[in-house]
Structure 1
Amino acid sequence: MTIAKRYAEWAVQEARGVSPIYERLARAVSRQRDVLDLLARLPEAKQQPNLLFGVVRLLGGPVEDPAAFHAFTMANWPGIEAEIRTRGTQTNEPGRCAVLLPVLAALPQPLALLEVGASAGLCLYPDRYAYRYGDHTLGTGEPVLECAAHAMTPPDRLPRVVWRAGLDLNPLDVTDPADAAWLQALIWPEHAHRRARLRAAAAVAAADPPLLVRADLVDGLPALAAQAPPGATLVVFHSSVLYQVPSPRRAAFAQVVASLPGHWLANEAAEFLPVDAPLPAAPPGEALHNVLALDGRPLAWTRSHGQEIIWFA
């Protein structure tokens, strides 16, 4: 797929109906030949819209007006390129806990959570957040994670978590101003509710910091999993991470996680997720949907920020 086509499809599949600013900008970049030529010099994993747009915002550049974005990008490319090459799309969206919760609450308690691609670890606190599934509410305090739930009964209890840890090639610290600025830059421009949610979740993590280990998802997983306390159900989970992992490493990761005790909970785009059972014919609509799967068995379609879950298992 060409870079131009990737940006045009991203505008439709991910930004449409979610961020008019990013939809308009992605469409424009798909036609900006000089910007596309600069992106082509980067590794494929570094060409994605989220990363480019986030870096431009981090550096104070405009994203609302495609022409101003173009001018800023062309004038400041050396600095933009340097940031792109050293960063990844570590969108630490606590809202994803809302689509993980139905599975986590149903597993044998208590849980030992190990997140792969944890970023700052904000998805390691599903027991500390409040939830709203339509008229059904669960938990107290902030943040309140809202999720439209279809063809399922929302959970009626929170999980009991006795251990939480994460792996990441570049773990972030919510108390570090530079790391916090990058997390904020990755939130899409119109999403004030997600910025407020990030601040509330960051306060939860800062009050009780998780164990975050700088390591590769294959090489570092067995040793970290071995630290989980006996008597707790180990759950290795990840959400919107595997698209950044080369195919051979994804296969190696699947082998390693399958060899561990406990469960493997994945929330990923279908093309990056090895599953043991067939999926429904197609996801609902043009928008990008992830697949929620437990131990390789697909359970539901989910939206990328945790705003919707459609159960089909």
Structure 2
Amino acid sequence: MTAIRESFLDLAEWAADTSPLYERLCRIVADAPELLAVAEAVPADRAVANVFLAAVHCVVRRGVDHPLADYYPSVTDEPRPPDADLASTLVDFCEVYAADLRPLLTDRRTQTNEVRRSAVLYPAFAHVTARTADPIALVEIGPSAGLNLSWDQYGYEFRETASDGDVRRVGPSDAAVTIRSSVDSGTPPLPTTPPAVHSRVGIDLNPLDVTDDTDVEWLGALTWPEHDQRRAVLADAVTVARRDPPRLVEGNVLDELPGILDGIPADVPVVVYSTLVLYQVPDEIRAALRDLIATRAKERPLHWLTGSGTFDEPGDGLDLHWHRSVEGTFRSDRLARFHPHGAWIEWYADEP
């Protein structure tokens, strides 16, 4: 139970800046053996604290009649601030709704589909296509519900901090989704029209279905209670995806990727990408994936974009690397650094 307790204390540090409710809930659970016992239902190979909080949030958002809901900004316009009653209220909630929480704790995973990470994908794909051709075939690893596969259908507003906050608008002018981010350094390529897409597919061990209300409910529950903008963007992106649901393949990436690549015309450039999933992949599988892509990149136009980070401190950014074959050598370069929720990007690559 010590490891579970530490997971809640770690998440409390991360939540401190943007979610006072989650910070307090994490500390409450860490000090309450009866709540830690509830959290033990989450399989050990998953992010226990995140799944526990999302499960509670999921049930709260169903409109339950319980005083715990009064603390959640996601369900009330005038939330009750965390106070001395919160601990006993959470304990009571977990007892009353144990049957609702149990399947969420045992079956669900942390599969946040952070749509705003598309803010770094837009210039990254532009950078790649400036050096190859388009249309490009997209293959996302760990896409969750596949909402970032539709990055080219979103509008973007990039605030350039180096130029007194000038805003650059790109993407479809009639887009139903608008993603706002700031460019804190560098000059990312931001064409008015996004690169053309030939095809798109995702590979996930447990893909979520945008046409399934329970999967969409879980996506919403994974968004922290105070994060209204993230929740609004998510809802809009789900609406877009439901018009033409993404193709998602269930399975192991090492098993599924070769066949997917074989099904794409050899002259079509492929971009395999993931914004934040490889840290969950065992080292040996990650190494095998790199070898697979490096080998295939010698046979056809193939690029790999990977997001990664150390998570040493709350607020740490993620690095986006571009991997490809250059004269027979598999080369990797850092393109950018970006906020985990897409709030800002720092661009490091040279302009096309």
In 1, distance between residues paired with 2:315 and 2:138?
29
- Counterparts of residues 73-152 of structure 1 (less than 5 Å): 73-77=94-98, 79-108=100-129, 109-134=134-159, 135-139=167-171, 140=173, 141-152=175-186
Contact 1:12–1:287, Cα closer than 8 Å, also in 2: no
Give the direction of change, closer, same or farther, for the CA distance of 1:128–1:290 in structure 2 (3 Å limit).
same
User: Where does residue 199 of structure 1 map in the other structure?
Assistant: 235
Contact 2:210–2:245, Cα closer than 8 Å, also in 1: no
Give the direction of change, closer, same or farther, for the CA distance of 1:297–1:37 in structure 2 (3 Å limit).
farther
Give the direction of change, closer, same or farther, for the CA distance of 1:301–1:11 in structure 2 (3 Å limit).
farther
Contact 1:133–1:154, Cα closer than 8 Å, also in 2: no
User: What's the offset of the Cα at 1:189?
Assistant: 0.9
The aligned amino acid for 2:307 is N
Give the direction of change, closer, same or farther, for the CA distance of 1:192–1:41 in structure 2 (3 Å limit).
closer
User: What's the offset of the Cα at 1:213?
Assistant: 0.8
Give the direction of change, closer, same or farther, for the CA distance of 1:248–1:85 in structure 2 (3 Å limit).
farther
Q: Which digits, 9 at most, give the CA deviation of each residue in 1:112-166, with x for residues without a partner?
A: 1101111111000121111111111112222111112121224321221111000
The aligned amino acid for 2:26 is A
Give the direction of change, closer, same or farther, for the CA distance of 1:286–1:91 in structure 2 (3 Å limit).
closer
In 2, distance between residues paired with 1:81 and 1:255?
40
Larger C-alpha radius of gyration, 1 or 2? 2
1:293 is aligned, of 321, 328, 333, to 321
User: Where does residue 12 of structure 1 map in the other structure?
Assistant: 13
- Counterparts of residues 179-198 of structure 1 (less than 5 Å): 179-198=215-234
User: Where does residue 275 of structure 1 map in the other structure?
Assistant: none
In 1, distance between residues paired with 2:20 and 2:296?
43
The aligned amino acid for 1:48 is V
Count of aligned positions: 300
Three-state SS of the structure 2 residue aligned to 1:142 is coil
Contact 1:45–1:244, Cα closer than 8 Å, also in 2: no
User: Where does residue 199 of structure 2 map in the other structure?
Assistant: 163
Deviates more, 1:178-187 or 1:123-132: 178-187
Deviates more, 1:150-159 or 1:243-252: 243-252
Three-state SS of the structure 2 residue aligned to 1:53 is helix
In 1, distance between residues paired with 2:30 and 2:216?
30
Contact 1:111–1:162, Cα closer than 8 Å, also in 2: yes
Matched, 1:269 2:309: yes
Contact 1:239–1:267, Cα closer than 8 Å, also in 2: yes
User: What's the offset of the Cα at 1:175?
Assistant: 1.9
The aligned amino acid for 1:4 is R
Three-state SS of the structure 2 residue aligned to 1:125 is helix
Contact 2:203–2:256, Cα closer than 8 Å, also in 1: yes
In 1, distance between residues paired with 2:141 and 2:251?
10
Identity %: 36
User: What's the offset of the Cα at 1:216?
Assistant: 1.2
Contact 1:16–1:287, Cα closer than 8 Å, also in 2: no
Give the direction of change, closer, same or farther, for the CA distance of 1:225–1:74 in structure 2 (3 Å limit).
farther
User: Where does residue 56 of structure 1 map in the other structure?
Assistant: 56
In 2, distance between residues paired with 1:45 and 1:118?
19
Contact 1:39–1:47, Cα closer than 8 Å, also in 2: no
User: Where does residue 248 of structure 1 map in the other structure?
Assistant: 284
Q: Which digits, 9 at most, give the CA deviation of each residue in 1:281-306, with x for residues without a partner?
A: xx8x7423222111143333222111
Give the direction of change, closer, same or farther, for the CA distance of 1:148–1:174 in structure 2 (3 Å limit).
same
Structure 2 unaligned residues grouped into runs of 5+: 72-81, 160-166, 324-331
Deviates more, 1:251-260 or 1:74-83: 74-83
User: Where does residue 163 of structure 2 map in the other structure?
Assistant: none
In 2, distance between residues paired with 1:156 and 1:5?
42
In 1, distance between residues paired with 2:212 and 2:198?
26
Normalising by the residue count of structure 2, what TM-score does the alignment of the two structures yield?
0.77
- Counterparts of residues 198-217 of structure 1 (less than 5 Å): 198-217=234-253
Q: Which digits, 9 at most, give the CA deviation of each residue in 1:226-258, with x for residues without a partner?
A: 222333221111122123333333333333233
Normalising by the residue count of structure 1, what TM-score does the alignment of the two structures yield?
0.86
Three-state SS of the structure 2 residue aligned to 1:107 is helix
In 2, distance between residues paired with 1:258 and 1:17?
40
User: What's the offset of the Cα at 1:20?
Assistant: 2.3
Q: Which digits, 9 at most, give the CA deviation of each residue in 1:16-37, with x for residues without a partner?
A: 3222222222233232233234
Contact 2:136–2:270, Cα closer than 8 Å, also in 1: yes
